[in-house]
Amino acid sequence: MATIEFIEYCSSIYKNYQGEQIKLNYIIKYTYCFKPIALGFVMFAITCLPWFTNAEAAELIIGIDNPPINGTVIAMLFNSGSTFVDLRDPVKVINYPSTGPAAGRIADLPGGEYALVVFHDENGNGRLDENFIGVPSEPLGFSNRYWPKGPPTFTNAAFKLETDETKTIDVKLQSLFGKTGILSLGVGVLSNTSPYRDAKSWNVQPIPAVSYIGDRVQILGLTALCGILNWDDFALAATASYRFGAYREKDSSYLQGMGNRKSTILGGLELQYKLPEGFKLSAGYEHDILDKTGGGTGRLGVGKAFQQNVLTISPKISLNWLTDKLADYEYGVSADQARLNRPAYHPGHAVNLEVGVTLFRELYKNWQIIFSSSVVFLPSNLKASPIVDQSQVFKSFAAVTRRF
């Protein structure tokens, strides 16, 4: 009986094996039947992939009216005003030899709005050289034949590139400085509040607005700079600035007998370093070279420029250090100047916080308008002076100038 059961058990295993073998043969048979179809589908997809990929790709042809006779031309394509304003982080960069008026080509671009900058890399370092304040010093040209009067404006250089379009953009390479530099003349207004007791709330003073921008030397209103070193993201310059006298005796009864605080000229050095995302770090120190105050001031600041349509906006924040002699000259009271309501006071050195913003807009032809405003937060040792009754000082400057 056990033998018969064993034989039946083996028979059932064999039948099951035959059934699974039949299923396996069935799968293999139909897999081989569909193999040519699957292979054909894959080949079709591979063949058509480039057609589908490039179906919506646009192309830009770059023409140069006056190609340099030697060297390298670099084209930079931008799609954002925030990076175009200081010509950084382009979406496309191509390098090509200056062999003819139409030697550049940028392919496989998605449709959109772009601005183009082309420059002659005269020293072959692969980057657009700038002076200390960030103005390009190598010959360049912009799309739309645009020529900036200050920070370049994306809106004025922008063009539309439609899907599957081939567009030609022609530029003319020239130096921003020309032969003699950039001279701008106009009229401006300086205004500021006074921190001193019972002094007039606002001081307003019209001034001539004069600026000159050259490769090494720049004069910006009451500040002058001369570039010393420009190495990668670092730049060093000698600086000089005019500092107005802090107050006059007649400004307030609390200042009677203090003597007028004299205007002077400060001189020193400033270092700049380019940070990621378009931020710029600056640090510098200037000392009274006429020795009217006996002291000096240092500054550590960070700023960034971005654009809103045709308006360039440059917020900034800084820490300003006044040496003890300068702080004493502008906020202290000496023993021989002490009065019943004005005790002697020596503040020592001071560090204040300044937050501000500068607005720039190109106007008709060669005209532009500039507005700058900031607030200075006085530290506790300056606020504690017996001749001070304000915690902040507001400053502003506005000018309309014409570029020549």
pLDDT tens for the chain, residues 1 to 404: 434 443 444 445 444 444 444 343 443 344 344 444 444 443 444 444 444 444 468 899 999 998 888 888 999 999 999 999 999 999 999 988 766 545 688 999 999 999 999 999 998 899 999 999 999 999 999 999 999 988 999 999 999 999 889 999 999 999 998 888 999 999 999 999 999 999 988 899 999 999 999 999 999 999 999 999 988 899 999 999 999 999 999 999 999 999 999 999 999 999 999 999 999 999 999 999 999 999 999 999 999 999 999 999 999 999 999 999 999 999 999 999 999 999 999 999 999 999 999 999 999 889 999 999 999 999 999 999 999 999 999 999 999 999 98
What integer pLDDT is reported at residue 365 of this predicted model? 84
pLDDT score, position 282: 98
Q: One fold for both 58-171 and 182-403?
A: no
For residue 164, give the nearest of 235, 62, 93, 59 by alpha carbon. 59
Q: What is the pLDDT of residue 103?
A: 60
Q: What pLDDT was estimated at residue 175?
A: 93
Residue 297 near residue 317, CB atoms below 8 Å: no
344: number of Cβ within 10 Å: 13
DSSP 337-391: G-BTTB--B---SEEEEEEEEEEEEE-STTEEEEEEEEEEE--HHHHTSTTB--S
The one-letter code for the residue type at 134 is G
Distance of CA 84 to the CA centre of its chain: 8
Q: What pLDDT is attached to residue 369?
A: 96
Tell if the pTM clears 0.75, that is, is over it. yes
CATH code 2.40.230.20 for 182-403: yes
- Measure the CA–CA gap between 256 and 286, rounded to whole angstroms: 30
> Where along the chain do its domains lie?
2-56, 58-171, 182-403
pLDDT of 100 reads 53
Reduced 3-state DSSP string for 63-112: EECCCCCCCEEEEEEECCHHHHCCCCCCCEEEEEECCCCCCEEEEEECCE
Q: Which residue in 220, 212, 83, 211 sits closest to 153, CA to CA?
A: 83
CATH code of the domain occupying 58-171: 2.60.40
State residue 178 phi and psi, 5-degree precision.
65, -145
CB atoms closer than 10 angstroms to residue 122: 14
pLDDT at position 56: 62
Q: How far apart are the first and last CA of the chain?
A: 120
